[in-house]
Amino acid sequence: MKFLRQSCEWIDRFNFLGACVAAAACALLSVILLVEVLGASVLAWSQPWAVEYASYLCAFVLLSGSGYALRHGAHIRVAVVLAHLPTRLARALDVLCTLCALYISGLLTVGLIEQAWRSHVRLTVSYFVMQTPMWIPQAMVALGAFMLWLALLARLVRLIIHDAPDLADDREVGQGAAE
């Protein structure tokens, strides 16, 4: 039991690290685009790599914090049924949902890893000026999907050993709301 809990905590730390890197990517994304705006409008000096790398960073931001978001209960689900079931049944349904999500994210992770590998083998490069080897950003996104898979695995373990699967969202009211 202790080993399982420790493993889950390591997964949490790994996902927190992923979220921190995604946060840094988000900050870098803002800086790159700001430099592009200022450079292009004031100095007529456009960066050929800005648009390309901005899209890779965005892809990383959107996926790499997913495991961290899952741990904090930020992903949305229609929890009406879950909320009205007796505790045991609700836990069983939650396990089933987590298993299902684990399978889907597993498919996604393997698919993305294979895609990055194919790009590596075929020496595929981007169609932008920089001709970036595609396997690099694709591997970053695959890593994001893998982190989500790991977070789901930790969630499954926590449900099975009767630990709380999600942490409370510690954001202040209204901060970060999508709506």
Q: Select 11 or 65, whichever has its Cβ closest to another protein.
A: 65
* Dihedral of the alpha carbons of 127, 130, 131, 133, in degrees to the nearest 10: -120
Q: Which of residues 97-126 bind another protein (CB under 8 A)?
A: 97, 100-101, 104-105, 107-108, 110-112, 114-115
Listed ranges 1-9, 156-164, 165-173: which one lies at the site for another protein (CB under 8 A): 165-173
SS3 state of residue 64? helix
Q: Which two three-digit tokens encode residue 137?
A: 């950003």
Q: Is 61 exposed, middle or buried (0-12, 13-18, 19+ CB in 10 A)?
A: buried
Q: Which is nearer to another protein, 54 or 157 (CB)?
A: 54
136 binding another protein? (CB under 8 A): no
Q: What letter does residue 161 receive in the DSSP assignment?
A: T
Which of residues 37 and 161 has its CB atom nearest to another protein in the complex? 37
Counted residue by residue, the chain has a size of 179
* Interface characters, 7-46, with another protein (x: CB under 8 A): ------------xx-xxx-xx-xx--xx-xx---x-----
Q: Is 168 in the site for another protein (CB under 8 A)?
A: no
From candidates 14, 49, 72, 133, binder to another protein by CB under 8 A: 72
Residue 162 makes CB contacts below 8 A (sequence gap 6+) with 91
Is 130 a binding residue for another protein by CB under 8 A? The answer is: no
